[in-house]
Every structure is written in structure tokens, then in C-alpha cells.
Structure 1
Amino acid sequence: MKQEIINVNNLEDIKHFLSQKNIYMEAQKSKSTLVQVYSSNNDITWYTSVVECILGIIPNVYIVGASTVGEIIKGKTSRGETVIALSFFELTEIKVIAEDCSKKDEADCGFDLGKQLESIKNRIAGIQLLTTPLSINTEKLLKGLRSYTKKTSVFGGGAGDYYATSNTIVIAGRDKLKKGIVAVAYIGEDLLIETCMYLG
């Protein structure tokens, strides 16, 4: 896996970054490319603009992300910016699943997500979760999911918001959810994922 990370403040920064020849070439030759967007901006129109900008330059990528209260880049925390991380996988497949929890119980959301993950035939090396813990009961969601993920590494985090207490967002491609969960399944025999717990 290769990775490129940048912090940006506007769409021109994104266009300049993604238009570099090495970025385009890596995306073209990779089996899967995952773009993660983490931003202090909790305005849905910003995420829409960012996603469309990315897809306009490198269309065959998976995009996920979340609103934040502190963006991490190269081991350091920044504030008030947008961080974009591109991961280029040579052998690993990616599957992104989003569940909207605004109209159903969180446990049902977790159960439905688990069923979709179970339908993946090849080995899942790990599952990355992005949730909106300020607007849903994440514990119930994970309880519904747990029966499907007992033998798989699960990691991730919750979306944050600098100002409001519940205006958090997670994204999966063009889908933006204020109450929901996004799962990234990393699929393949050659990928090893080790999980650790951090507080802070």
C-alpha cells in the first residue's frame, strides 16, 4: 500500500494535489484506491463539492470521510482544515457500505450492515467504521453488528463537530449521513491489519 496525505482549505488545493502525475498514475495502476476526507467543515455543501472535485479528476476511487474536531496529518493535529488521505492498494479490494439510521433503530442498522458484510465471499482482513456517535446510539449499532464481525478486526472512530453537539456527518461517495454509519471492508488474502486502542 502507498499513501499520500495533504491538508487543504479550498477546491483549488485539491485540484492541484490530485492533478499531479504520480497521483493519477498510482490510481490507474492500483487494484483499489481509497480516499478519506476528514474536515472541520460540517456544511454538507462542502463535502458535496469536495467529492465532485475528486471524482472529476480520479473517478474510479472509493471516498469516505467524516466531520472532525481535530484533523491528524503526519502524526500532528491541525484544526480548522480538511485532510485528504489517498491509499493505493496493489492487491486489496475495497467495499464501502453506508447505513442511514435516521429512519430505523440503531441495532437494526448494525444488523443490516452485518448481513451485507457477511455476503462478501472473500476474506475480509478488516472493517473500518465511521459513525455519528453524537446523533445515534453507537453502542446499540455495534451490538447489532457484533455477531457478524467476531473474527474480523474492526477499527475506526466517530465524527465530531467543533460547534454544535450533534451536527456530525459521515460520507460514503456521494452519500452524506447525519445519522448513520459507513463501513469500509478491506478484502484480500495478502493484507494484515493489526488493531490497537488509543485514548485521547
Structure 2
Amino acid sequence: MQVRQCVLTSVDTLTPLSSLLSQFNADLILVFADQPFLVHQPLQKLLRQSGALVAGCSTAGEIAGMKVLDHQAVITAIKFSHSQVSLVSTSITDMPDSHDGAARLAAKLESQDLRAVLVLATGLNINGSGLISGLQQHLPEKTLIFGGLAGDYAQFSETFVLGPDGPHNHCALAIGFYGEKLHITNVAAGGWQPFGPYRKVTRASENILYELDGQPALDIYKSYLGEYAQQLPSSGLLFPLEMVNEARESCGLVRTILDIDEQEGSLTLAGDVMTNGYLRLMFASNEGLTGGAEMAARLAAEQHPHALTKNCLILLISCVGRKVIMGDLVEDEIDSVVQLNPAPAVTGFYSYGEIGAHKESGQCVFHNQTMTVSLITEVS
């Protein structure tokens, strides 16, 4: 496996990409970029002419090497020696279609020799939990599923996925990885801390939270936020919710607020909530978030037999909420990962939700507010 990468700082300067594609015959090109790049026709034409499979999404920040970039495009080209990739996509019409849309994706993928699936999907009007359950029900049992949801710099306005037929704002795509020479490890970790009382979930439906302790969920949530309540839903990135089971034990999952309904007093979360459990607010410090990223990196390296080979690609997908909190120090969490897993190529983005393994069960789940570390190598 060989990897090449370039960064575009402007849609008017495509020379770095032209140079890369003229010298490197890629099988797969990953594009993580600000929206203007994804809808730029000359860039799309250049990518199509490469002959490679092209997949990507809009972001809330791009990752290249040890840098976190804003309003740029990170393009990573991959050439496999012994493995194959396929790319399929489908429209996601609305949030209830998340499960069925994922089932449509899975049905399009060839299941024989399928090792892993990288999923990129719209960051709005989607239920991440439904997306994962639809994939899990229709993919081979041991298939590794990882990926994330597109972002738009915490504007919560419009996100894009770049697939086989261009960019779309209501779309999900899946990249299938095939071959026994391929090794992919994925680990997610957070670093957030809970605070305040447990609040009983008294009415919820999938990812819509209506009541806590018999009161409108939005009222309860606003009572904690104070002046930040005026900035919802974007301020919800600063105060996610920890899911707790009936025994008041942490489930190891966090939920971020995607939207609010003032009339119903409800919160729309990025993933499903346990209807018989509890929720607690969470907060974070820079030290805690960096520690969470370091934990994910360490576990990924321990689980990957070829983590330090020269051809290892690191794919990082981290939550926009972490970026908002860390501010100018956000590169600290990237640094903590790369120092433990030095690799010639590091790519990724800040997202509206992360797809990856639960650190205890190992099963794929939908995360919020985590750093997910994926190590991808191919051995001879």
C-alpha cells in the first residue's frame, strides 16, 4: 500500500492535486474539505479524470499530518498492492430513513472477502444509531464498520458527502475494503467528565428526547446552560449527555444535541437514547480530551500488528465539540495520537458524529464527542 497526500488552500489553486495525480495512480482518493471545494466543478472534473474511486465529505475542520486546518481541502490518494476497494452510495431522504438507507448501502456491497467498511454520511437529518443498525443487520457479522458524519463548522445548516456522482447534501456512502492482506484497527475514546444529578428518561423515541424526570427535556437542559441556552443548538456541543443504564452505570456512550423543538420542548440527539435509562450532563478540559485521544491511539497501536510500518495510514475522525472546547490547542489531541503512532500519512476531519468500536464490547456503535483512531495497513 502506498499513500500520497496534498492540501489545497484555495479552489483557485489546483496545481498540487494535478501534480499528485499525474505522478500517482491511486485506487482510492479521500477528500475531506470545506464545502466550496466539494462543489467546485474543476476540482470534481480533475478527481473524476484520475480513474480512482473518490469519496469524501464536508467538515468542521480538516486534519493533515499533525495540523488541524480550517476551510481547506485535504486529499489523500491510496494505492493498494494486494487489496481491493468498492464504493456505493444512497440518498437518505430524512431521519427515519437512516436505517433503511444503511440497509440499501449494505445490499450494494459485495460480501465475499469483505474486511471493513468506511462510512461517510450527511451530518444533519440523520440518526447515526439507525445508520449503524441498518449496516450491522445486512453486513457479515465480523465486518469492521468505522467512519463519521459530515460537518459544516458548527453552523448546523448544510453538509455534503462526495460520492460517485458528485456532492449531495442528503447522502450516505460506504467504501468496502477486501483482501486478507489488509489490516484495519479502529478505537474510540472521549475524555469527558459527567456532572450534576442523574436525570431519568421518562419519554423518548429513538433519538428524540421529550422528557427527563417527567418534565420537558429542553427546559431541564436549558436550566443547566444559563446564558449558553440562547445559542442552542450549537452550544450543545459544549455540554453533551452521558447515557447511563437503569443501574446508573455508564454505557460508555455520549450524545450531542443536533436540534431543539421549542414547541414540543424536545431535544433531537445525534443517536438513539436508552428509553429506560438515565442521562447526565458532561463537561471537558483540554487535558481530559487530549488524554482521551492518547488512550484511543494507544489501544489502536496495541491491537494493530503492523501499526508502525512505513505504509500505515492514520485516519482520525474527531467531534467538532472537542474542537470548539480546545480552541487554539486542538492540535494537542492530534499530536498525542501521532507521537504514539508515527506514520507517513495522517488524514481525517472534525465531524458531527463518529462511527467506531465501543472500547469495552468491541462492537460498532455511534459516538459523539470522541476521537476515533483508525490504522490502515496492507502487508505483503
What interval of TM-score do these two structures reach, taking the shorter chain for normalisation?
0.7 to 0.9
Q: What's the counterpart of residue 33 of structure 2?
A: 39
Question: Residue 84 and residue 107 in structure 1: after superposition, are their counterparts in 2 closer, same or farther (change >3 A)?
Answer: same
Q: Once the 2 structures are TM-superposed, how far is the Cα of residue 181 of structure 1 from its aligned partner? A: 0.8
2: CA distance, partners of 1:178 / 1:130: 12
1: CA distance, partners of 2:181 / 2:135: 25
Q: Over alpha carbons, which structure has the higher Rg?
A: 2
Alignment-mate amino acid for residue 82 of structure 2: L
Q: Can you give the 5+ residue segments of structure 1 that lack an aligned partner in the other structure?
A: none
Decide which moves more: 33-42 or 178-187: 33-42
Q: Does 1:3 align with 2:30?
A: no
Q: What's the counterpart of residue 137 of structure 1?
A: 127
Question: Residue 166 and residue 26 in structure 1: after superposition, are their counterparts in 2 closer, same or farther (change >3 A)?
Answer: same
Question: Residue 194 and residue 43 in structure 1: after superposition, are their counterparts in 2 closer, same or farther (change >3 A)?
Answer: closer
**Which structure shows the bigger proportion of residues in strand conformation?**
2
2: CA distance, partners of 1:132 / 1:50: 21
Deviations 1:64-103 (A, max 9, x none): 0000011000032111211111111112111101010127
Q: What's the counterpart of residue 118 of structure 2?
A: 128
Alignment of structure 1 residues 102-121 onto 2, 5 Å: 102=93, 105-117=97-109, 120-121=110-111
Deviations 1:102-132 (A, max 9, x none): 2782221111112222xx1531121000011
Match of 2:42 among 42, 49, 64: 49
Question: Residue 89 and residue 44 in structure 1: after superposition, are their counterparts in 2 closer, same or farther (change >3 A)?
Answer: closer
Q: What's the counterpart of residue 148 of structure 1?
A: 138
TM-score (structure 2 length as normaliser): 0.46
Question: Residue 142 and residue 195 in structure 1: after superposition, are their counterparts in 2 closer, same or farther (change >3 A)?
Answer: same
Q: Which has the higher contact order (CA 8 A, sep 6+)?
A: 1
Native 8 Å contact 1:51 1:173 kept in 2: no
2: CA distance, partners of 1:123 / 1:111: 19
Q: What's the counterpart of residue 72 of structure 2?
A: 81
Q: What's the counterpart of residue 67 of structure 1?
A: 58
2: CA distance, partners of 1:195 / 1:61: 24
Question: Residue 101 and residue 169 in structure 1: after superposition, are their counterparts in 2 closer, same or farther (change >3 A)?
Answer: same
Q: What's the counterpart of residue 14 of structure 2?
A: 14
Alignment-mate amino acid for residue 128 of structure 1: L
**Secondary structure class of the residue paired with 1:193:** strand
**Secondary structure class of the residue paired with 1:115:** helix
Native 8 Å contact 1:18 1:54 kept in 2: no
2: CA distance, partners of 1:197 / 1:165: 24
Native 8 Å contact 1:109 1:144 kept in 2: yes
1: CA distance, partners of 2:69 / 2:10: 16
Deviations 1:173-192 (A, max 9, x none): 33322112110001112111
Alignment-mate amino acid for residue 38 of structure 1: F
Q: Once the 2 structures are TM-superposed, how far is the Cα of residue 9 of structure 1 from its aligned partner? A: 2.4
**Secondary structure class of the residue paired with 1:105:** helix
Deviations 1:26-53 (A, max 9, x none): 31xxxx611111112257532x432212
TM-score (structure 1 length as normaliser): 0.84
Q: What's the counterpart of residue 272 of structure 2?
A: none
2: CA distance, partners of 1:83 / 1:102: 28
Alignment-mate amino acid for residue 17 of structure 2: F
Q: Can you give the 5+ residue segments of structure 2 that lack an aligned partner in the other structure?
A: 190-369, 372-380
Native 8 Å contact 1:135 1:178 kept in 2: no
Percentage identity across paired residues of the two chains: 23
Native 8 Å contact 2:83 2:181 kept in 1: yes
2: CA distance, partners of 1:72 / 1:35: 15
2: CA distance, partners of 1:33 / 1:142: 26
Match of 1:187 among 164, 167, 178: 178
RMSD: 2.2
Decide which moves more: 8-17 or 34-43: 8-17
2: CA distance, partners of 1:179 / 1:98: 11
**Secondary structure class of the residue paired with 2:133:** helix
